[in-house]
Amino acid sequence: MRRKDKDLSDPLRIREILSNASFCHVAMCNGGVPYCVPMCFAYKDEKVYLHSVGEGRKIEILKVNPKVCIIIEQGCSLITSDSVCGYGMRYESVMIEGLACFLHGKEKEHGLEIIAEKYAEYSESPYSAGRIERIAVIAVEMTSCTGRRSGPV
């Protein structure tokens, strides 16, 4: 990292951000064409869990190239100044690089329960077997995880 003053290296704080942030941006690449989408996510056991409809552009890209970059940020606000050069942003962010893996069977149900627990505050799967078949549940195995912060958060 070029700006060491912005380094967020406390693993506990990084886990807090991963556990508490509301959404993330998932970037992937199709050939030489980048594609990025905002998604809801959950973090548990050093994995990021995503869910989606079982078809569409991101699903097709991930089937061919499972490499992803995920950005999660929170506490974003503008820092103003008397000088244009003094403006900036206050934030905390985590950047993850990893490999996306489509889950199936009991692992898929477990991943969906982790996501439901985060957003709905219960872990019992709210979906019928027919609906689970049409949903994609993706676990991202992290190969790299770094944090960054700017300004007092």
Domains plus CATH for the chain?
Answer: 4-150 (2.30.110.10)
63-113: per-residue pLDDT in tens?
999 999 999 999 888 888 999 988 888 889 999 999 999 999 999 999 999
Query: What pLDDT does residue 121 have?
Result: 72
Measure the CA–CA gap between 75 and 153, rounded to whole angstroms: 6
For residue 148, which phi and psi values (nearest 5 degrees)? -150, 145
Rounded to an integer, what distance in angstroms lies between the CA atom of residue 150 and that of residue 93? 9
Q: Which of 55, 88, 75, 72 is nearest to 140 (CA)?
A: 72
Can you count the helices (H) and strands (E) in the chain? 4, 8
Task: Please tell me the distance from the alpha carbon of residue 39 to that of residue 86, in angstroms, as a whole number.
Answer: 32
- Does pLDDT of 1 surpass 60? no
What pLDDT is recorded for position 108?
Answer: 94
CB of 104 closer than 8 Å to CB of 133: no
The more confidently predicted of residues 41 and 150 is 41
Cα separation, 123 vs 115, whole angstroms: 8
Contact (CB, 8 A) for 48 and 41: yes
